[in-house]
Amino acid sequence: MKIALVSPYDFAYPGGVCIHISCLEQQFTRMGHEVRVIAPASKAISGFGDRFIPIGRPRPIPTSGSIARLTVSPWLSSKIKEVLEREKFDIIHLHEPLMPMLCTTVLRLSNTATVGTFHASHGKPGYNLGRPVGKWFLKRWFRRLHGKIAVSKPAMEFAHGHFPGYYNIIPNGVDLEHFSPDVAPIEEFNDGKLNILFVGRLESRKGVKYLIEAFVRVKQAVPDSRLIIVGPGTRLRRQYEKKVAKSGLKDVVFVGFASYEDLPRYYQTADIFCAPATGSESFGIILLEAMALGKPIVASNIEGYASVISDGVDGQLVPPKDSQSLAQALISLLNNESLRQEMGAKGRAKAMDYSWERVARDVLDYYMRVLGEPPWRKKFPQSKTAPILV
């Protein structure tokens, strides 16, 4: 089968959607399918060869407390037409299919089967942008989708609230080969201190402000502890660093951007992984990554995280924006090594259920369900129809 995986986001910039697409591409290619990734790119993409087709120049667009790096040029049609006519895909799989302009233009021009995966939950993307005209256009493109996937129940509920319909829930996955407990920790942090790790972009909604406030209490209760903050961001990083310096707080390390290749070593360095996001998380990929290395989790009790973490089993969930509760949970785990090990082992077992191999098979099965419906059945007569249920 010839498959197109389409991202609206800059493929040269780290993000959950781009990683999701990369992992699907890898699995589909291993299965013997012919795959192309279509996305804007701010720089050359290595490792894909001719399997990557760049379209459009991405620009940073503020949206719901984050920055979306999209191509917003209205002059994409000719390039997209050329690619679709040349490649003749059997199915086109768009991620965040209603994000302008690349995905919506592909939807408008496609004459083949299309599937859309909805990743976001409450707060993004801006489906209400430009109402009512903008919403009318989005509904028009939505009707061109032949199949719809949501990565979690919160993502499905959010999309369904704006665009009612049937969605098939297929979760994000984790690369168990890459995020393996066999990797070595970061040597400079492997000095006997108890490490709390944060991984994510430095944006307000990621909750680092509350984690730093919590660490003030943690440091008083557990002096031999350290907070490691990994992730890109400039403006808020400066604010956080000033806050730390002003308070005299020690053992807070801002690493900045870490490559995908290095991330497993940071997770391995951690004694606890902490995700204090305030909301707008549809699914906790970072939680799965940490769990794959057997790390216990302390995370905000928001829908996207609660769909991954079983409170008191493989992690602890605390109210969002509550630095005191966050500190108490961290202190409790730091002081209980056996509980950390027990939660980490249960998390590792759960992560096995989210292997990309399994997720890719589920997505491929869904493709065949879509292709088994008219008008694609003649081309794929072996496909069996099935009701597309939530």
User: Are residues 156 and 283 both part of a single domain?
Assistant: no
Both tokens assigned to 268? 């391995």
User: Are residues 209 and 133 both part of a single domain?
Assistant: no
Task: Please check the confidence at residue 104 and state whether its pLDDT lies above 90.
Answer: yes
179 belongs to a structural domain: no
Q: What is the pTM (predicted TM-score) of this model?
A: 0.86
How many other β-carbons are positioned within 10 Å of the β-carbon of residue 43? 10
Spatial separation of the C-alpha atoms in residues 278 and 290, rounded to whole Å: 19
What is the pLDDT averaged over residues 101-106?
94
User: Are residues 150 and 239 both part of a single domain?
Assistant: no
387 belongs to a structural domain: no
Task: Please check the confidence at residue 77 and state whether its pLDDT lies above 50.
Answer: yes
380 belongs to a structural domain: no
384 belongs to a structural domain: no
Note down the domain range covering 314.
187-353
* Residue 144 contacts residue 108 (beta carbons within 8 Å): yes
User: Are residues 348 and 364 both part of a single domain?
Assistant: no
pLDDT attached to residue 15: 81
154 belongs to a structural domain: yes
User: Are residues 63 and 192 both part of a single domain?
Assistant: no
264 belongs to a structural domain: yes
The CATH number of the domain holding residue 335 is 3.40.50.2000
What is the pLDDT averaged over residues 327-332?
98
Give tens-digit pLDDT for 218-258.
999 999 999 999 999 888 999 999 999 998 999 999 999 99
User: Are residues 147 and 225 both part of a single domain?
Assistant: no
User: Are residues 156 and 209 both part of a single domain?
Assistant: no
Task: Please check the confidence at residue 389 and state whether its pLDDT lies above 70.
Answer: no
User: Are residues 203 and 297 both part of a single domain?
Assistant: yes
Q: b/e for 19-34, b at 16 or more Cβ within 10 A?
A: bbbbbbbbbbeeeebe
* Residue 343 contacts residue 297 (beta carbons within 8 Å): yes
215 belongs to a structural domain: yes
User: Are residues 40 and 138 both part of a single domain?
Assistant: yes
User: Are residues 157 and 15 both part of a single domain?
Assistant: yes
User: Are residues 169 and 197 both part of a single domain?
Assistant: no
User: Are residues 149 and 201 both part of a single domain?
Assistant: no
Q: How many domains does the chain have?
A: 2
Close Cβ partners of 239 (under 8 Å, ≥ 6 residues apart): none
pLDDT attached to residue 376: 81
pLDDT attached to residue 126: 53
16 belongs to a structural domain: yes
